[in-house]
């Protein structure tokens, strides 16, 4: 088992305006952002730097002038192979001259993503965009029953979208099932960036607990997939869909198996009389004193089914003072349910 800290890192770095209460809220935001954005293709020689009020901008051919934000300015510097920190120390006029002289020329156009008068990203022609709304829509269609976890200590929801990327943390709060004698629920992280900040990907897992820092504790079956934003990036939607489908199928299968075991445990007797039941319980490591009390409770109810005895033992172990002894006893009690498998 392992602990996963990816959602915790997102919790601490996201500002309140990047948080969303529900997946529907996040989808609406991303859909509106896609609607308001436009890809503009221009040859490098048609791109000119401009000083726009207190910030730097670009004139894109006949499309007009647009402001650079911090991310797109960094991308512009990277395309020019000039350090962003160096350019920031220059005067606006000198910085413009440096960038114009170092930006690559050629027949391949630059891909510039704009929203209103703002440039969100600048890429070469090889970059292929996958919109956040496409990913989230697929998740909504596939991850039925999944929802964000309880809020973090600072109000973080697990659902985030900012200027540079998107991240979502989803679990099935009713999908608890028993795996090798311990309780787990399914969950996953998904992420993407429309502006080249990060790859698109998913990490699926089964977990035992989530703390207020959104650390996922005791995760098993952790599987990760990611893909860069190249020509086949939209194929990632199919891979991510299959990852979620696998978790849903295992959740349903394990839930059905657990339900069947519970039904059998409610019908099947552990013994025909108190003496036989007492012997069976002690054979499974239950202390004689605890086994005797549970047998008496079950006898008073008129049934010696596996479920009634496990129920009685669970109530009794809850009164054990020392947590180490209580945990050990609970594990032995849980093992009785394997008799119904």
Find the mean pLDDT for residues 113-125: 92
Question: Residue 196's pLDDT is what?
Answer: 92
Query: 326 pLDDT exceeds 60?
Result: no
Query: 329 pLDDT exceeds 80?
Result: no
* Cβ(239)–Cβ(227) below 8 Å: yes
Bigger pLDDT: 335 vs 233: 233
Find the mean pLDDT for residues 134-140: 95
Query: 199 pLDDT exceeds 90?
Result: yes
Say what percent of the chain tops pLDDT 70. 87
Find the mean pLDDT for residues 186-212: 93
Instruction: Provide the pLDDT confidence category of residue 323 given band limits of 50, 70 and 90.
Output: very low
Question: Residue 328's pLDDT is what?
Answer: 62
* Cβ(68)–Cβ(57) below 8 Å: yes
Say what percent of the chain tops pLDDT 90. 37
Question: Residue 137's pLDDT is what?
Answer: 95
- Cα 215 vs. chain centroid, distance in angstroms? 11
Bigger pLDDT: 11 vs 297: 11
Query: 325 pLDDT exceeds 60?
Result: no
Question: Residue 160's pLDDT is what?
Answer: 98
Among 198, 127, 148, 207, CA closest to 26? 148
CA atoms within 13 A on the CB side of 13: 14
Bigger pLDDT: 309 vs 128: 128
119: left (phi over 0), alpha (psi -120 to 50) or beta: beta
Tokens of 152: 């973090």
What is the full DSSP assignment across 98-159? Answer: HHHHHS--SSSPEEEEEETTEEEEEE-TT-----HHHHHHHHHHH-TT-B--SPPTTS--SE
Q: Which of 106-110, 237-241, 306-310 has the lowest mean pLDDT?
A: 306-310
Question: Residue 23's pLDDT is what?
Answer: 95
Tokens of 149: 């976890």
Which stretch, 264-268, 288-292, 322-326, has highest mean pLDDT?
Answer: 288-292
Instruction: Provide the pLDDT confidence category of residue 245 given band limits of 50, 70 and 90.
Output: confident
Query: 166 pLDDT exceeds 90?
Result: yes
Q: Are strands 55-60 and 47-52 parallel, antiparallel or unpaired?
A: antiparallel
Find the mean pLDDT for residues 298-326: 70
pTM of the predicted model as reported, rounded to 2 decimal places: 0.73
Bigger pLDDT: 84 vs 139: 139
Find the mean pLDDT for residues 163-176: 91
Eight-state DSSP code of residue 273: S
Query: 97 pLDDT exceeds 70?
Result: yes
Task: Report the chain's mean pLDDT, rounded to a whole number.
Answer: 84
């Amino acid at each position: 088992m392992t602990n996963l800290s990816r959602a915790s890192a997102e919790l601490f770095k996201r500002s309140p305006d990047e948080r969303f209460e529900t997946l529907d809220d996040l989808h609406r935001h991303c859909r509106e952002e896609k609607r308001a954005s436009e890809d503009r293709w221009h040859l490098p020689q048609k791109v000119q730097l401009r000083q726009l009020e207190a910030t730097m901008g670009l004139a894109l051919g006949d499309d007009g002038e647009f402001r650079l934000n911090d991310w797109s300015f960094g991308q512009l510097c990277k395309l020019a192979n000039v350090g962003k920190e160096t350019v920031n120390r220059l005067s606006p006029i000198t910085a413009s001259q440096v960038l114009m002289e170092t930006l690559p020329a050629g027949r391949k156009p630059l891909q510039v993503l704009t929203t209103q008068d703002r440039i969100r990203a600048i890429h070469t022609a090889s970059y292929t965009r996958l919109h956040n709304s496409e990913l989230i829509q697929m998740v909504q269609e596939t991850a039925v029953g999944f929802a964000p976890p309880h809020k973090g200590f600072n109000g973080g929801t697990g659902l985030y979208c900012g200027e540079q990327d998107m991240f979502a943390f989803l679990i099935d709060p009713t999908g608890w099932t028993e795996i090798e004698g311990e309780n787990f629920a399914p969950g996953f992280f998904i992420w993407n960036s429309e502006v080249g900040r990060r790859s698109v990907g998913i990490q699926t897992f089964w977990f035992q607990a989530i703390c207020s820092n959104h650390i996922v504790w005791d995760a098993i079956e952790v599987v990760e997939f990611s893909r860069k934003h190249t020509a086949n990036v939209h194929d990632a939607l199919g891979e991510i869909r299959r990852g979620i489908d696998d978790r849903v199928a295992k959740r349903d299968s394990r839930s059905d198996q657990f339900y069947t075991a519970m039904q059998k445990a409610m019908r099947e007797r552990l013994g025909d009389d108190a003496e036989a039941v007492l012997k069976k319980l002690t054979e499974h490591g239950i202390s004689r004193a605890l086994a005797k009390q549970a047998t008496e409770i079950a006898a008073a109810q008129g049934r010696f089914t596996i479920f009634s005895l496990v129920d009685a033992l669970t109530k009794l172990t809850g009164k054990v003072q020392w947590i180490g002894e209580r945990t050990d006893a609970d594990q032995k009690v849980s093992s009785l349910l394997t008799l119904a498998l």
